[in-house]
Amino acid sequence: MPLNGRVEPFAPVCVERVTDAGARQRFRELVGRYHPLGYKGAHLQYLVWITRPVPTVVGGLQLSSAAWRIQARDRWMGWDDATRARHLPQVVNNSRLLLLPWVHIQNLARATLARALRRLPADGQAQYGVTPRLVETFVDPARYTGACYRAANGVEIGETSGRGRDDHQHRRHGTRPKRVFVYPLRRDAQARLRGESGRP
């Protein structure tokens, strides 16, 4: 049954971390069936729920390791190779954001991103012993406008080269360039990821 309207009548929106086999299977099936890029294993996975009129799963979100080398991001960060290697574990990639095809709830994507990013530092620290400071995501302009990322205060910083996120040797070509958005998870994220002094 289609779900339409503004997010408020369906709120609160819940972003629930996938921690058991049943939730993991559900996430895998939803993303594998309905996301254009399909399912691929990730570090952190979340199911997205609305709570009214009845609790209902409406999508999923996953966060993966950051791309090794993204010129737009590295330029924005002011990174050289050594600094990037040292601080890259504190950057994560929002590799999937899915709202199911029959869900047309205005501002749901923004609410989902806001809740997920708010809990991410604690979840990353608990799972991997590293506190994320920055989230990156890539938007295919042929499919999406990136409006939900802008609405969630994402900063558009350029485009990918079109080689693919894991092309360490610069050998792959022909992948369509994506828009690059970043989300600092704290005010001093950029400075801390450059290795500049300040509070931890």
Asked, for residue 154, whether it belongs to a domain, the answer is yes
Question: What is residue 162's predicted lDDT score, i.e. its pLDDT?
Answer: 79
Whether residue 21 is contained in a domain is answered as: yes
Residue 83 lies in a domain: yes
Q: What is the CATH number of the domain that holds 126?
A: 3.40.630.30
pLDDT at 61: 96
Domain contains 20 = yes
Residue 200 lies in a domain: no
Among 166, 151, 85, 71, smallest CA distance to 114 is for 151
pLDDT of residue 163: 62
Instruction: Give CA–CA dist 43/193, Å, rounded.
Output: 21
Interatomic CA distance for residues 180 and 159, integer angstroms: 5
pTM here?
Answer: 0.86
Nearest in space to 160 (alpha carbons), one of 73, 40, 43, 58 = 73
Q: Establish if 55 belongs to a structural domain.
A: yes
Could you write out the three-class secondary structure of 62-101? EEEECCCCCHHHHHHHCCCHHHHHHHHHHEEEEEEEEECC
Is 198 part of a structural domain of the chain?
Answer: no
Q: What is the predicted pLDDT for the residue at 169?
A: 52
Range of the domain at 115: 3-193
Query: Looking at the 3D structure of the chain, how many domains does it have?
Result: 1
The phi, psi pair for 31, rounded to 5°, reads -70, -40
Answer yes or no: is 199 within a domain: no
- pLDDT digit string, tens, across residues 11-27: 999 999 999 999 999 99
Do you find a cis peptide bond into 36, omega within 30 degrees of 0?
no
| Residue 21: DSSP 8-state | H
Could you say which residues of the chain have pLDDT below 70?
41-42, 163-174, 197-200
